[in-house]
Amino acid sequence: MLPLILFYIFATILVMAAVAVIVSRNPVYSALSLVLCFVTSAAIWLLIEAEFLAIVLVLVYVGAVMVLFLFVVMMIDINLEELRAGFTRFAWLGWIMAGAIVLEIAGVVLTKRLGIDVTRGGAPLPANYSNTQELGALLYSKYAYPFEIAAMVLLVAIIAAIALTLRHRPNLKVQDVGRQVAARASERVRLVKMDSEHRE
Amino acid sequence: MKSLGNLWLQMPPYVHSTAITLLLTVVLILSVAYLTLWERKVIGWMQMRIGPNRVRIFGFLPGMGQPFADVIKLLIKEIVIPARANKILFRLAPAITLIPAFAAWAVVPIAPGYAIANVDAGLLYVLSLTSMGVYGVILAGWASNSKYAFLGAMRSAAQMVAYEIAMGFALVGVLMAAGSLNLGTIVAQQHGGPLAWNWFWLLPLLVVYFISGVAETNRAPFDVAEGESEIVAGFHVEYSGMAFALFFLAEYANMILIAGLTAVFFFGGWLSPLDGFPWWLGGTSLLAIAGTHWLLVKMFVLLFLFLWFRATFPRYRYDQIMRLGWKFLIPATLVWIGVEALLSWYQVGPWKH
């Protein structure tokens, strides 16, 4: 009973936060609502005993991705009027996508109703079952190649992102850190010894 | 007394964990209070000064009343909210910084075989919680509607994201040594005296972890987020009274947390340093008993390092911080993870079976 109550609480918060992402007038509020979305979905994943995924969702998306997102949103001056100009023009696209998602969810629910349930459900796993260990064992044995390929794709994406934003500006003044580190006091400071002055 | 003990045992587990959580919170807050005093005393001694020695408790113990005097002073000050500041986020930000520093203690093994929540993926939980603390800093900087606060927030956000990666990689090494993500198991696996603790085989990772910990808590020499000479007080420049005190509390609570985690990951947590010694070296004496007191001793030494750093090192320049984090610490951890893989493959050290 308690998991069910918790699920409905988290689900309500999740839906409300998701709506807030779209309708907030302030882009910072939108980004923060998205953070709330991630945290509540992590809580829902915890309820279905996917603790590894839940914690990693918070670690990666809340702890790193959204921080940088917020960073950018706060730095740039977003013109909301311009952003909202296309709202009605592209609304039909949004409705189609929303409809598709609703249909997909309905499909999942219907298969469960018809008794052709493919998801594991019901019986909770024993307390000593380690989600993380199972995932690791599968990823590094059975799915080693797909895992490596995914890692390579990400690496290529990182390099591409850096290459796209790299600019070589002429006459740029940069510090040569190697030279700074190699600097010694004897090269910079000249100690002068002289007698003190005497009044004539 | 006996009936009280019975009553305690008959209570359901959630009463136990709630009571211990409350106790731990109170202990943490008091530790923070006296850590601030200890810091002022230590830095005072290092600079040939005496440090706070005026406020007494009931006329005794000079200086011991200082934290309470400070708290009362801050409590009765007005909290000024700047013009055109975002009022909700401005008030929320201190709480967001503070909560992760306390919540992470849930999985830390505070006594042999005991943690408030015995979470299987405890290490990941700690990492994800410590990464949430940066929100408070960013939101404080943005909500204050002040250029200095915003600059401080930007600096600290970039710094925390950079050092989190090095921190995570250092913990990968700990995970490889322990073969578990559970903090209790990580401690238990290090039994057998100081040389069996993780610091010996994972020394480079310990150094990286502790440096990242100092950077993550925005302490000197990495305190550019509040570099007084450049941006006044950084992200909390607009905060006054108790709102400022909460940031202060969060900073010290985070220091205590990092010290505790370093002790757990690298110095055998609650294990005794005499553990595994022959009897003539005290291996069977009272000192060889594992317990919370050893965790406290180790944390105390590590916390002293934080204060020592602050009194010793000049502040890093911002680009040097980024260079250290990205170009030195992260490659260093990667190299040592490779070395560790080889050690484990050839079954050297803790991987001997």
C-beta atoms of B125 and A62 within 8 A: no
Chain A touched by B127 (CB under 8 Å): yes
SS (H, E, C) chain B: CHHHHHHHHHCCHHHHHHHHHHHHHHHHHHHHHHHHHHHHHHHHHHCCCCCCCCCCECCECCCCCHHHHHHHHHHCCCCCCCCCCCHHHHHHHHHHHHHHHHHHHHHCCCECCECCCCCCCHHHHHHHHHHHHHHHHHHHHHHCCCHHHHHHHHHHHHHHHHHHHHHHHHHHHHHHHHCCCCHHHHHHHCCCCHHHCHHHHCHHHHHHHHHHHHHHCCCCCCHHHHCHHHHCCHHHCCCCHHHHHHHHHHHHHHHHHHHHHHHHHHCCCCCCCCCCCCHHHCCCCHHHCCCHHHHHHHHHHHHHHHHHHHHHCCCCCHHHHHHHHHHHHHHHHHHHHHHHHHHHHCCCHHHCC
Residues of B in contact with A131 (CB under 8 A): 120-121
Chain A touched by B300 (CB under 8 Å): no
ipTM, interface predicted TM-score of the complex:
0.80
Task: Print pLDDT tens along chain A (200 aa).
Answer: 788 888 899 999 999 999 888 888 788 888 889 999 999 999 998 888 788 888 888 888 888 888 888 888 887 766 666 666 667 777 888 889 989 999 998 888 787 666 665 555 556 666 667 777 888 888 888 899 999 999 999 999 999 998 998 887 888 887 787 888 888 888 888 888 888 888 87
Q: Which two tokens stand for residue B328?
A: 């030195």
pLDDT of res. B260: 92
pLDDT tens per residue, range B185-207: 888 888 877 888 888 888 899 99
Chain A touched by B103 (CB under 8 Å): no
C-beta atoms of B124 and A59 within 8 A: yes
A52 → closest Cβ in B121, B150, B160? B121
pLDDT tens per residue, range B223-282: 877 767 677 777 888 888 888 888 888 889 999 999 999 999 998 888 888 777 777 776
Chain A touched by B210 (CB under 8 Å): no
Q: Give the nearest chain A residue to B119 (CA atoms).
A: A51
Whole-angstrom CA distances from B286 to A186, B110, B279, B282, B291 are: 55, 19, 11, 8, 11
Give the rounded percent of residues in chain B with a pLDDT score beyond 70: 95
Q: Give the nearest chain B residue to A29 (CA atoms).
A: B89
B139 Cα to chain A: minimum distance (Å): 9
Instruction: Give residue limits of the domains in chain A.
Output: 1-78, 92-121, 130-166
DSSP 3-state assignment of A60?
helix
A41 Cα to chain B: minimum distance (Å): 15
A59 → closest Cβ in B120, B128, B157? B128
Q: Which residues contact B315 (CB under 8 A, 6 or more apart)?
A: B220, B221, B222, B223, B224, B227
Would the pLDDT of B132 be above 70? yes
Q: Looking at the structure, give the CATH architecture of the domain made up of residues A1-78.
A: Up-down Bundle (1.20)
